[in-house]
Amino acid sequence: MADSLEDKSVGIVLAPRGSEEVEFTEPKSAVEDAGGSVDVLGIETGEVETVNGDLDPAGSYEIEKSFDEVTVEDYDGLVVPGGTVGADTLRGDDTAVEFVQDFFETEKPLAVICHGPWTLVEADVVDGRELTSYHSLETDIRNAGGNWVDEEVVVDEGLVTSRNPDDLEAFCDKVVEEIEEGEHEDRQTDDV
C-alpha cells in the first residue's frame, strides 16, 4: 500500500475556521503514506485554524489553493472533513458547494466525514445515495433524498462517508482504496 496512490493527486478541503483537525490530518497522512500528493483547498488561501471536538483550538494550517485556482480535473479524489462550524461555513459558500457538486459529477472518489455531508446536501447530490454522517445530520440527509445509515463507513459508487473521528481508521482505509480504484462510472445524479 506504500505506493498504491503514486501519481495520484488529492484535494483536501479546509474551511476558513472550524474544520475538525483529525478529520483533516489523518486522511491527509493516509493519502501521503500511500504515495499520493495532497493539495489543501479552501475558499481562499492563507492560514486557517482547526479545532478539536468543535470547541477547542487545535492547529494552524495553510490553504494552498483556492477553489477559484483549481479545477476538478486537477484531482483524482477529494476529501471534505467535518467540524460543525467548518462544515456550516463551507455549505454557505457558493464556490465550495459548486466545487463539491462538480467533483461529484466527475465520478471520481469523494470522501466526506462527520458534518461534512452538509456540503453534499447543499450541492444536491445525496438523492438516492446511501451515506452516513454525524447523527444530527440524519434528518437533513433524509430530507434531501439520501438513505442515512448508522455505520462507521459507507461507500456508494465511490462516495465515502463516515460518522465521526472514531471512524477515521475505516474512513482512511476506504479513502485510499477508492482513490486507487478510480472513477465510478455508475455514479450519476438524477438530473445528469
Residues annotated catalytic, as ranges: 114-115
Q: How far apart are CA 39 and CA 74, in angstroms?
A: 10
**Residue 114 Rama label (left phi>0; alpha psi -120 to 50; beta):** left
Across 43-181, the runs of DSSP E, i.e. the strands, are 46-52, 56-63, 65-66, 77-80, 110-113, 130-131, 147-148, 153-156, 159-162
Angle between helices 84-91 and 94-105 (to 10 degrees): 80
